[in-house]
């Protein structure tokens, strides 16, 4: 196992065995500092270009195989490009939010109110995606419906004094719904019959 030195905090760490680019940082925290705080985008872009140029020179067979694979499967190239574009746009949004507001947008970053993942978005939203915002809206709607039911329940108990409106027997207010004596709200005359 080879050892390397972190470029951010200068501590030594063991390089893991495996494929890909050798690590230059010891942890995710150092990676974040390197990518988003201590380095401007132009310098980072130049460093990536330099790494790619060196990699092409040092690994000509792998580079030729990669080029051949790109020619054979253009859909894989497009999907990889889309994935990289999403990563780049997320990184730009994060950099923009770190710089502060610009224009008419107010950038919000933090955990999603539904799923808890961290996100950056140029609005006052509390959720990271459309799915989470729909789930939050459904939760709010069910809370409103529960509150409305509770208000109706209290009003009917106050009006009828805990007596059934159909049979006149007392209602057990502590029983839950499967019990026959439990309190439930229902129309004495169904709405379908009133409309007819």
| Per-residue pLDDT tens digits for 140-181 | 898 898 898 888 888 888 888 888 877 888 888 888 878 877
**pLDDT in the model for residue 36:** 66
The answer to whether the CB of 70 falls within 8 A of the CB of 77 is yes
> Per-residue confidence at 98, pLDDT binned at 50, 70, 90?
low
User: What distance in Å separates the CA atoms of residue 59 and residue 53, rounded to the nearest whole number?
Assistant: 10
pLDDT confidence of residue 19: 60
Ranges 6-20, 37-51, 96-110: which has the least confidence: 96-110
Task: Read off the pLDDT of residues 15-59 as tens digits, 9 standing for 90 and up.
Answer: 777 666 777 888 877 877 777 655 566 777 777 888 888 888 888
Give the Cβ contact number of residue 30 at 10 Å.
20
State the pLDDT confidence band at 101, using cuts at 50, 70 and 90.
low
Rounded CA gap, 17 and 32, in Å? 22
- Residues with Cβ < 8 Å from 70, sequence gap 6 or more? 76, 77
Q: Which of 97, 98, 106, 110 is nearest to 124 (CA)?
A: 106
pLDDT at res. 165: 79
Which among 162, 139, 142, 195 is positioned nearest to 184, based on CA atoms?
Answer: 162
Read off the pTM. Answer: 0.35
- Structure tokens belonging to residue 130: 């459309």
Q: What is the pLDDT of residue 25?
A: 82
């Amino acid at each position: 196992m080879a050892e390397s030195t972190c470029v951010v905090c200068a501590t030594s760490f063991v390089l893991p065995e495996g494929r890909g680019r050798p690590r230059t940082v010891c942890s995710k925290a150092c990676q974040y500092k390197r990518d988003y705080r201590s380095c401007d985008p132009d310098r980072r872009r130049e460093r990536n270009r330099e790494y790619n140029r060196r990699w092409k020179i040092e690994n000509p067979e792998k580079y030729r195989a990669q080029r051949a694979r790109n020619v054979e499967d253009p859909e894989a190239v497009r999907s990889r490009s889309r994935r990289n574009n999403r990563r780049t746009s997320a990184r730009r949004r994060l950099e923009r939010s770190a710089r502060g507001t610009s224009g008419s947008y107010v950038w919000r970053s933090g955990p999603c109110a539904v799923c808890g993942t961290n996100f950056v978005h140029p609005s006052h939203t509390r959720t990271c995606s459309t799915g989470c915002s729909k789930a939050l809206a459904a939760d709010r709607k069910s809370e409103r419906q529960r509150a409305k039911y509770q208000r109706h329940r209290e009003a009917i108990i106050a009006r009828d004094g805990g007596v059934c409106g159909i049979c006149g027997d007392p209602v057990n207010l502590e029983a839950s719904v499967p019990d026959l004596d439990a309190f439930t709200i229902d129309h004495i005359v169904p709405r379908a019959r009133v409309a007819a």
